[in-house]
Amino acid sequence: MSNITKVVGQRIRNYRTQKGLSQEKLAELSGCHPTYIGQLERGEKNATLESIEKITAALGISLSKLFEKLGRQEDDATDIPLACYEFLSAKSKEEQAQLYKILLEMDKYKAN
């Protein structure tokens, strides 16, 4: 599958785990089959727009939030800000706050 399929699947997994939902619970809330949710998260299936709409509604996020910053990168391997965004989006709000504090502390001690 394409890179965008894998990225969207990973984002679905990130938001699902952030909300504390199992694949089965997300499937129930969205009206999709649990196997389909797993296939999407692993990037094995291309999602339909209809299923994406149902999944984002079940996750309580907007379509734009799911697709935020997709397709802008020229080279995935060197897009550090996007990699950081993806890493942080997989964390809970509390973990995000802690990581941000760590970054701020590290920035204080950077070499001039």
Q: What is the pLDDT of residues 101-110, one digit of tens each?
A: 999 888 888 7
pLDDT in tens, 24-71: 999 999 999 999 999 999 999 999 999 999 999 999 999 998 998 776
Task: Mark 56-92 as b/e (b = at least 16 C-beta within 10 Å).
Answer: bebbebeeeebeeeeeeeeeeeeeeeeeeebeebbee
Q: For residue 38, which phi and psi values (nearest 5 degrees)?
A: -60, -45
The parent domain of residue 26 ranges over 3-108
User: What is the count of structural domains for the chain?
Assistant: 1
> Long-range contacts: 38-42, Cβ < 8 Å, 24+?
40/8, 40/9, 40/12, 41/9, 41/10, 41/12, 41/13, 41/16, 42/9
pTM summary value: 0.70
Structure tokens at 65: 């939030």
Q: What is the CATH number of the domain that holds 77?
A: 1.10.260.40
Alpha-carbon distance of 9 to 1, in angstroms, equals: 11
